[in-house]
A = this chain, B = another copy of it.
Amino acid sequence: MKRQDYNLPYLLKYENVAWYENGKVEILDRRIYPIKKEKVVCESYVDVAKAITDMVTQSAGPYTAVGMGMALAAFESKKLKEEDRIEFLKEASHVLSHARPTTANRMGLITEKSYEVGRDAIKSGKDPIAAIKQDTVDSLNRRYSVMERVAENLINLLEDDSVVLTQCYGETIIGMLLRLAKEKNKNIKFYCAETRPFFQGARLTASCCAEMGFDTTVVTDNMVAWLLENNRVDLFTSAADTITADGHIANKIGTYQIAILCERFNVPYYVTGFPDRDKKDRNSIIIEMRDPEQALKFLDIKITDDNVKGIYPSFDITPPNLIKGVVTDKGVYGPEKLNLYLEEATKFY
């Protein structure tokens, strides 16, 4: 399969997400990009796990990083006996997939697959390093391809000249939307909500849009009502960390209030992604409360006085009545119609 990251912005090239080469995994440090363009070099799978724990990469980045980390584990173990080497990979799969608790399940699906691929290669006398790396790239290709179909369905909602508001960093969907917009000569103007506290909108999404040649403007998170009242915005879109079967979505903190404001100013909100089969309704969403100190900082600079407290819900929940449609690989569904999507068998990872 042709590599699916062609003509995508820097951030979405596989090598700039996480990449195994010559006994090392390099991971782009998304915490500071584009203020600094630095990669964290990992010389062991334990380093990779630590980088994921430290959020060097986030969003879908860890799913690539754990695969490449498994290739590195295969490199690290190359002098071990066959059985010990397989055991080493098993241990690596556990450590890598548990680098972040919230997504351990999803990461585990990937590392288990890598483990199996590596084990089978070892048993049949092939190179497990190359096999795991190729499997990781194949997985990336599949994921990127599915996201291209989502982007295709999203872009069909847009006129040739459109103005789109984004929140946080939708990762692959954003890259695919941009690539398709260029291919189809759609002239999209982007407003990116900056997305405190880590500024993923300002740093990541806006960088992708501008790099691909689109008119890109960052708005601070408190300018949204002003923007919607005083400027043309045709559509608001975001990815989602969870989409429940009944049409609630959990996404980066701030999404909910933008959705409320969009309703007030008659701007439709389209979520991209896939409903989670195992999440029925909003009660099945657990909001991760992160270290409040992180919300009181800009980069590593503490903004507030010592006795001031912070609070940091990583996600908020937007109810279906604020969502115009859920844009999936199979089409656009009203949030109350996601059961139709779920009735079809799906596999993404």
Contacts and interface: CB of A to CB of B under 8 A. Distances in A.
Interface of A: 34-35, 192-197, 199, 202-203, 206-207, 209-211, 215-227, 229-230, 253-254, 256-258, 260-261, 264, 295-296, 298-299, 301-311, 313, 316
Contact of A225 (B197, B296, B316): B316
Interface centre among A34, A258, A311 (most CB of B within 10 A): A311
A81 B258 CA distance: 61
A207 B193 CA distance: 27
| Number of copies of this kind of chain in the complex | 2
A258 B260 CA distance: 11
Question: Most B CB atoms within 10 A — which of A196, A258, A301?
Answer: A196
Contacts of A307: 210-211, 216
Nearest to A230: B313
B197 A220 contact: yes
A216 B227 CA distance: 30
Given A202-B304, A207-B308, A223-B254, 20 more contacts: A34-B304, A195-B222, A197-B220, A202-B308, A203-B303, A206-B304, A210-B305, A210-B306, A210-B307, A211-B305, A211-B307, A217-B308, A217-B311, A218-B295, A220-B254, A222-B222, A223-B295, A223-B311, A260-B260, A299-B301
A220 B220 contact: no
Given A220-B295, A221-B221, A313-B223, A206 B305 contact: yes
12 contacts: A35-B303, A196-B220, A202-B296, A203-B303, A207-B305, A210-B305, A211-B305, A211-B307, A217-B308, A220-B253, A225-B316, A227-B311
Contacts of A207: 304-305, 308
B222 A310 contact: no
A309 B254 contact: no
A261 B257 contact: yes
Most chain B CB atoms below 10 A, which of A202, A211, A257, A295: A257
B218 A308 contact: yes
Contacts of A192: 308
Contacts of A301: 35, 298-299
B253 A218 contact: no
Main secondary structure of the interface of A (DSSP, over half): mixed
A239 to B, nearest CB: 16
Given A226-B256, A308-B210, A316-B226, A221 B202 contact: no
B225 A257 contact: yes
Contacts of A193: 222
B196 A309 contact: no
B222 A302 contact: no
A292 B307 CA distance: 32
Nearest to A313: B226
Nearest to A203: B303
Contacts of A202: 296, 303-304, 308
A315 to B, nearest CB: 9
A276 to B, nearest CB: 21
A197 B194 CA distance: 10
Nearest to A307: B210
A174 to B, nearest CB: 14
